[in-house]
Amino acid sequence: MIKIPFSAESTIQVPFYDLDPMQIVWHGRYAQYFEIARCQLFEDIGYTYNDMNESGYGWPIIDLRIQYVRPAHLGQILIVRATLKEYEHRLKIRYEIRDAASGQRVTKGYTCQVAVRISDGLMQMSSPDVLLSKFER
């Protein structure tokens, strides 16, 4: 069983195609970096996006916040940490992106996701049992 908070990390080396004309990571890429760590978190929990779909639930993001602290550059190694903070009524995941070499924070933020029953599109007021069974209570 998993205890909250629960975290997972991913390592990203900034590729050329993530840069904007000012030669720093384009602001929209940070949401993609969050997604990479979020997928690792779900993998570690044992409830991947494929598992969600097979269980009959979609989990759209209903809120995304990003706070930019300092720019990231080509070739920089970033550590992206995703930490699950809430799961009973929604998934709230906090993110922190740090420079691997210095440990300095680059970006932080969070996402909120809710369960939506795929068969009828209804948002659920609590997380389904298939997810709740993964956690200690």
pLDDT digits (tens, 9 = 90+) for 31-87: 999 999 999 999 999 999 999 999 999 999 999 999 999 999 999 999 999 999 999
pTM above 0.75, yes or no: yes
Neighbour count for residue 24 (Cβ, 10 Å): 17
Task: Let me know: does 14 contact 78? Beta carbons within 8 Å.
Answer: yes
Which are the contacts of 50, defined by CB distance < 8 A and separation ≥ 6? none
Neighbour count for residue 116 (Cβ, 10 Å): 17
Which are the contacts of 78, defined by CB distance < 8 A and separation ≥ 6? 11, 12, 13, 14, 33, 72, 97, 98, 99, 100, 106
